[in-house]
Structure 1
Amino acid sequence: MPNVDSIWNAIAKLPQPTLRELFDQDADRVTRFADTLDIGGNAILFDWSKTHLDQDLVGLFSQLAEAMDFASAREALLTGGIVNPSEGRAAEHLAQRGTGAPASVEEAAALHLRMRLLTEAVHEGAMGPVKHLIHIGIGGSALGPALAIDALARSTAEFRPLVDVHVVSNIDGNALEAAFEVCDPAATIIAIASKTFTTIETMTNAGSAVEWLQEAGVEDAFGRVVALTASPDKAVEWGVDETRVLPFAESVGGRYSLWSSIGFPVAMALGYEGFAAMLDGAAAVDRHFAQSEPADNLPLRAAFADLLYTQVHECQSRAVFAYDERLALFPDYLQQLEMESNGKRVAADGAALDRPTAPVTWGGTGTDAQHAVFQLLHQGTVEVPVDFIAVKQPGHDLDPAHQRILLTNCFAQGAALMAGKQSADPARRYPGNRPSATILCDALTPGTLGALIAFHEHRTFCNAVLLGINPFDQFGVELGKQIAKEMESGTGGSFDPSTQALLEKSGLTT
């Protein structure tokens, strides 16, 4: 087996046919680079044929996976081994979906049962009338629930959420007040999602939410609070009765925590069966990831393309466009998943890296984005790989023309990025040969959403393994938080002149 550097050199030296040439050279290209997974009777198509991957590149990237001991890293993830060496921890979000160390899988099942029983009790009136839930968290404790609620809990002619859920993360009081304005305090419960139950933004918002209940005349405001945490003792100390504390394992990281009790608001809105279907959809992708060889492993193949563009094409960003309003928050969710996981500058052993790691993940919703940013994608001077995510079955009952126009625009953008267009007028010339991938779901269900999220979790992990970095720590978020605490407490001493002037002009210091 060649060493890692020689494999990267071989990848960089391969000829670079255009996308059109790749299709011309391989009549089976669509079949070769587009595969379908069945998720509870609904198919998801993963089409990577409009990327510059070919069989030679897949072969070399498969060698890279072997050289980086991908098989052992995957096995450690699947069995609850240490995959976070800087903190000496496992990353056991897969145990929430039934894969992992037997004791961890058993614990996850027990905690899910506890969540199910509380969810059903609340639905049956154990906490009084409940029409609204204000879910307070930040980072993964908010992004996952917000995505799932926005995607799955919209009112339609056929479906009404069991509870109206509002996810609040920002410490800016405007965010919390917006939830207060549409919720009846007499029929509202509060969920506080914090792994440590010390996160300053979350706990400040939680305190204000309890005060809102008290000021509205709710007799036992703390009796309307549910805690979702890996630190149950701190939740009880804060004032939450232990019967309304839903713990989750310390080994479940924040941006992977939707599968744990952090999914409580999803179960409240959809019923526990809806949350369980999300788990099942994710578990289906886990099985594919565990059992597939590198050339056929969909998350790994996506990582091969990601690395081709960051390492060889020197792309510094990747765009994601959801051609379905229900998935409008998906790019936001992926920003944390990918950039917090793989935005590193050192290898897992602490050695400095001499190559790029995560690109900047950004995106939006089609067709809105077409009228805002696609000018740059088609004719700008930077190359940006694009992922399109679309759903065949609409989430509305309006004229089918809406869905037809939506999907044709989605597919047309990928075709246009690839084909380009020549013109005698330079301003009307499109270079083409710009890559895209398309994920097409039959329907947006709890299962398919769970599968989409799990696919991207594994894709992120594969990128990390092939780069030799640790995707499960996030020390980069700590320094700014530490300095903010010093400013708040007045213990930070002097800051740079610009920061000091900002503090003074804001009235935060004298």
Structure 2
Amino acid sequence: MTQIPVIDPTVTPAWEALDDRADSFSPDLRSWFDADPNRAASWTRSAADLHVDLSKNLIDQGILKDLLALADQCGVFDLRDRMYSGEHINTTEDRAVLHTALRRPSTDTLIVDGQDAIADVHDVLAKVYDFAERVRSGQWVGITGKPVTTVVNIGIGGSDLGPVMAYEALKPFVAEGLECRFISNIDPTDAGETTKDLDPETTLVIVASKTFTTLETITNAKVVREWFLSALRERGIAQDEATTREAIAKHFVAVSTALDKVAEFGIDPNNAFGFWSWVGGRYSVDSAVGTSLAIAIGPESFAEFLEGFHAMDRHFAEAAPQDNVPLLMGLLNVWYSNFLGADTHAVLPYSQYLHRFPAYLQQLTMESNGKSVRRDGCHTTYDTGEVFWGEPGTNGQHAFYQLIHQGTRLIPADFIAFANPTWPLRDTQAGSDMHELFLSNFFAQTKALAFGKTADEVREEGNPEDLVSARVFTGNRPTTSIMAASLTPKILGELIALYEHITFVEGAIWGLDSFDQWGVELGKVLAKQILPAIEGDGEALAAQDSSTRGLIEFYRTNRH
């Protein structure tokens, strides 16, 4: 097992310096901008095709110097290089962490555990691309000879959140006549609602589970298989065993490496697309897990998606620390979390297409860094992880922005927007461009959060004195503004990789293994133990605690 030094960040000189700064810290963004006309320019960076304005963050050059020193003293750069080279930095599972290999060019070579990881990646990519082209062209047909019009992806966690987020984000690039749907929740409502209006003859199902044993995924896959076969039988199709096998083989494929279990399910192992133990689920949308996306947007656009990831990977690996955007944003998050008392972080995309992006980031960040034990097995003595959340603007402005503007909690926020809309619509009566109206809100919100409104400014507006305090905005609410020309496959790849590396930086500072997820296991184990009690096993019911037993008894009494 790889031995990687773990440094308690709280004993570093940089942490002590930041602690001292925080004790006397009194941010004043208004005066900082007034005193430095070049503040915006000096705190704006480029990362691949992203324009990132950090100037409205609660940071000065002294804080930046100490944060960069903290990264150096905690071994962030060393750990980054170990990750890129394929060392086993996932120490609790003794695995390499190589999501960056999923988007490296085919001309590269990287030997990991005796295998050329890059060659393996491109072998699978070629298979995915070939399959995607056959589905898109109509060459791949179902049991009755009809082409596919709907792809249903069945997965959970990273096998769902990534594909559905990317599909929603890139809908303008989806081939006409193709639709993707997604099933993840074991609540039967999910599968029922998703399949109720589908034509089984034109439906392709992708079952995404590395081990092909994930309870929710395999249960949903069996339910969908039953729906599919029942619907065919009602039409006089798949009446015998041979035709049933043929129907499953033509309408079900897998993203898995467990070929024996894939075959047992009825899927042709030749139609299984593999990935590797060094790819965590929350980092896998750019692997074969993205097969549904590759079908929807096509291999050319999917390749551009991968190019975006790789561009950000190179930036993180090569940019100088003071210009390295993932590094700086990760360090800012540590500054807010560990020194200024922030517990949550909002991500606010001003793009309806990115409406699932905050949910995607919830898994990426909180499953990675929601831990209280370091890589060396020691418990942390400092806070780790942030609660990531958000909704698209402008919807959020009429919901939770009140708390960000005038609440008692410090909530750093990332605002994301694009210069060019997909739908350049106008309000013809008002004569205004809707996208410009939309972006005026994007610009206004970060300005209002940064600079607020003073009591004197409220009085100058003619407000009565008894309302002045309620209408004051303190400002000094930190934001980062991220912009790009348009939301394209490449830009989406850059955005995802940006947050992957931000998450890495935070985990490295905190000494965590950001690539395991033992916290999701206990509930799964207990669910299997509790199921017999729900089904009527008296002994299993008696073994439960009084609360669980009472809840099960209520369920059994009230289940029709």
TM range (shorter): over 0.9
| Aligned residue type for 1:221 | A
Rounded Cα–Cα distance in structure 2 between residues aligned with 1:194 and 1:465: 28
Partner of 1:126: 140
Superposition pairs of residues 373-384 of structure 1, within 5 angstroms: 373-384=400-411
Q: Which runs of 5+ in 2 are unaligned?
A: 1-6, 239-245, 427-431, 456-464, 534-539
Partner of 2:243: none
Compared CA separation, residues 10 and 100, structure 1 to 2 (3 A): farther
Match of 2:187 among 164, 172, 192: 172
**Corresponding residue SS for 1:306:** helix
Rounded Cα–Cα distance in structure 2 between residues aligned with 1:475 and 1:385: 28
| Aligned residue type for 1:463 | E
Whether contact under 8 Å (2:420, 2:486) holds in the other structure is yes
Superposition pairs of residues 196-345 of structure 1, within 5 angstroms: 196-217=211-232, 219=238, 220-223=246-249, 224-345=251-372
Question: Which region of structure 1 is more displaced relative to structure 2, 53-62 or 300-309?
Answer: 53-62
Superposition pairs of residues 95-174 of structure 1, within 5 angstroms: 95-98=101-104, 101-102=110-111, 103-124=116-137, 125-128=139-142, 129-154=147-172, 160-161=175-176, 163-174=178-189
**Corresponding residue SS for 2:285:** helix
- Residue 516 of structure 2 corresponds to residue 507 of structure 1: no
Match of 1:494 among 522, 543, 560: 543
Whether contact under 8 Å (1:162, 1:269) holds in the other structure is no
Partner of 1:20: 30
CA-CA distance at 1:402 after TM superposition = 1.6
**Corresponding residue SS for 2:284:** helix
Question: Which region of structure 1 is more displaced relative to structure 2, 46-55 or 323-332?
Answer: 46-55
Match of 1:49 among 29, 45, 55: 55
Match of 1:32 among 30, 42, 55: 42
Rounded Cα–Cα distance in structure 2 between residues aligned with 1:306 and 1:492: 45
CA-CA distance at 1:492 after TM superposition = 7.6
CA-CA distance at 1:508 after TM superposition = 8.4
TM-score (norm 2): 0.86
Matched length: 503
Compared CA separation, residues 11 and 104, structure 1 to 2 (3 A): same
Question: Which region of structure 1 is more displaced relative to structure 2, 4-13 or 387-396?
Answer: 4-13
Partner of 2:445: 413
Partner of 1:66: 72
Q: Could you report, residue by residue, the CA deviation over 1:131-188 in whole angstroms, capped at 9, with x for unpaired residues?
A: 0001000000000000111011248xxx644521001111112111222134211100
Whether contact under 8 Å (1:153, 1:161) holds in the other structure is no
- Residue 368 of structure 2 corresponds to residue 353 of structure 1: no
Rounded Cα–Cα distance in structure 2 between residues aligned with 1:84 and 1:256: 13
Rounded Cα–Cα distance in structure 1 between residues aligned with 2:515 and 2:50: 27
Partner of 1:461: 504
Partner of 1:183: 198
CA-CA distance at 1:21 after TM superposition = 3.0
Whether contact under 8 Å (2:86, 2:98) holds in the other structure is yes
Rounded Cα–Cα distance in structure 2 between residues aligned with 1:492 and 1:324: 49
Match of 1:93 among 74, 92, 99: 99
CA-CA distance at 1:459 after TM superposition = 0.6
Rounded Cα–Cα distance in structure 2 between residues aligned with 1:148 and 1:162: 18
CA-CA distance at 1:362 after TM superposition = 0.9
Match of 2:525 among 482, 499, 510: 482
**Corresponding residue SS for 2:45:** strand
Rounded Cα–Cα distance in structure 2 between residues aligned with 1:431 and 1:455: 30
Rounded Cα–Cα distance in structure 2 between residues aligned with 1:25 and 1:233: 68
Whether contact under 8 Å (1:47, 1:439) holds in the other structure is yes
CA-CA distance at 1:3 after TM superposition = 8.2
Rounded Cα–Cα distance in structure 1 between residues aligned with 2:310 and 2:183: 28
- Residue 488 of structure 2 corresponds to residue 445 of structure 1: yes
Whether contact under 8 Å (1:390, 1:439) holds in the other structure is yes
CA-CA distance at 1:476 after TM superposition = 0.6
Match of 1:401 among 433, 436, 439: 433
Q: Could you report, residue by residue, the CA deviation over 1:205-243 in whole angstroms, capped at 9, with x for unpaired residues?
A: 101111111111153431210100132332123221012
CA-CA distance at 1:460 after TM superposition = 0.3
Whether contact under 8 Å (2:47, 2:324) holds in the other structure is no
**Corresponding residue SS for 1:365:** coil
Percent sequence identity over matched residues? 38
Q: Could you report, residue by residue, the CA deviation over 1:434-490 in whole angstroms, capped at 9, with x for unpaired residues?
A: 101111111000000010000000110011111111100111111111111111134
Rounded Cα–Cα distance in structure 1 between residues aligned with 2:181 and 2:198: 9
CA-CA distance at 1:123 after TM superposition = 2.5
Q: Could you report, residue by residue, the CA deviation over 1:383-442 in whole angstroms, capped at 9, with x for unpaired residues?
A: 111111111111214216221111111111110011111234211111111101111111
| Aligned residue type for 1:177 | G
Whether contact under 8 Å (1:154, 1:161) holds in the other structure is no
Rounded Cα–Cα distance in structure 2 between residues aligned with 1:320 and 1:183: 34
Whether contact under 8 Å (1:80, 1:90) holds in the other structure is yes
| Aligned residue type for 1:149 | Y
Compared CA separation, residues 177 and 154, structure 1 to 2 (3 A): farther
Q: Could you report, residue by residue, the CA deviation over 1:174-204 in whole angstroms, capped at 9, with x for unpaired residues?
A: 1112221342111001000112111111111
Rounded Cα–Cα distance in structure 2 between residues aligned with 1:127 and 1:53: 58
| Aligned residue type for 2:31 | E
Q: Could you report, residue by residue, the CA deviation over 1:24-69 in whole angstroms, capped at 9, with x for unpaired residues?
A: 343332222211234xxxx321111111122211211111111111
Whether contact under 8 Å (1:266, 1:274) holds in the other structure is no
Compared CA separation, residues 449 and 371, structure 1 to 2 (3 A): same
| Aligned residue type for 2:12 | D
Rounded Cα–Cα distance in structure 2 between residues aligned with 1:291 and 1:65: 15
Whether contact under 8 Å (1:321, 1:388) holds in the other structure is yes
Whether contact under 8 Å (1:483, 1:492) holds in the other structure is no
| Aligned residue type for 2:248 | F
Compared CA separation, residues 407 and 69, structure 1 to 2 (3 A): same
Compared CA separation, residues 207 and 288, structure 1 to 2 (3 A): same
Q: Could you report, residue by residue, the CA deviation over 1:365-393 in whole angstroms, capped at 9, with x for unpaired residues?
A: 11111011011111111111111111111
Rounded Cα–Cα distance in structure 2 between residues aligned with 1:428 and 1:509: 50
Larger radius of gyration: 2
**Corresponding residue SS for 1:506:** helix
Whether contact under 8 Å (1:503, 1:509) holds in the other structure is no
**Corresponding residue SS for 1:505:** helix
TM-score (norm 1): 0.95
Compared CA separation, residues 78 and 493, structure 1 to 2 (3 A): farther
Compared CA separation, residues 28 and 233, structure 1 to 2 (3 A): farther
